Structure 1
């Protein structure tokens, strides 16, 4: 798949709430995922660990009030998305967050992702 095809498929699956399927189908086995410095999951390596990180986040959510995912902006081997979410978390209450998500694609698979947002 091209970078554009990977980006479009990721957006479609995530908008349908199929995050696990997106990771399984689109991520490389050796993917590296980065969150902001100082966060609990600053660096996650490997598809299984990324799936577990996603599951852990899903389990922390009590209710999602709204969530949007932009269309991708695609360069040759990278694409980015804007993700906005308003959710109530079991431990932290209701929070709104807007983040930039950047992905790197190699050989038709996502090999890296990085999320930019302000914590706190």
Structure 2
């Protein structure tokens, strides 16, 4: 798949809330996932670790109310999109979140993802 095809598939899955399907089909085995400084899991490496990170996030959520994903912006073997999510967290209540997501594609698979947002303050 081309970078554009990967980007379109990822956006389609995300718009339908099928994040696990997106990861299972589109992520490479050696994926690197980077979150902003201060996030619970700033950097994880490998498909299994990324799936565990997603499960960790899902376990923090009491209820999803909706999400919105922009059209992808593709350049060379990179693409980005804006994601917005409305969710009620088990701790912290209902929040609207917004982020820029940057992905790198090699050989038809996403090999790196990086998310840009302001993390919520954590209790010490």
TM-score by length of 1: 0.95
- When the two chains are superposed, the root-mean-square deviation of aligned CA atoms in Å is 0.9
- Which segment drifts farther, 110-119 or 63-72? 63-72
The residue number in structure 2 matching 1:105 is 105
Counterpart Cα distance in 1 of 2:84 and 2:14: 13
Separation of aligned partners in 2, 1:69 and 1:22? 14
Matched, 1:27 2:27: yes
Aligned residues between the structures: 120
What does residue 43 of structure 2 align with? 43
Q: Which residue of 2 aligns with 1:3?
A: 3
Return the alpha-carbon distance in structure 1 between the equivalents of residues 75 and 104 of structure 2: 10
Q: TM-score, normalised by structure 2?
A: 0.92
For residues 71 and 104 of structure 1, the distance between their equivalents in structure 2, rounded to whole angstroms, comes to 16
Runs of 5+ in structure 2 lacking a partner?
none
- Structure 1 unaligned regions, length at least 5: none
Shift of 1:69: 0.7
Alignment of 1:26-105 (within 5 A): 26-105=26-105
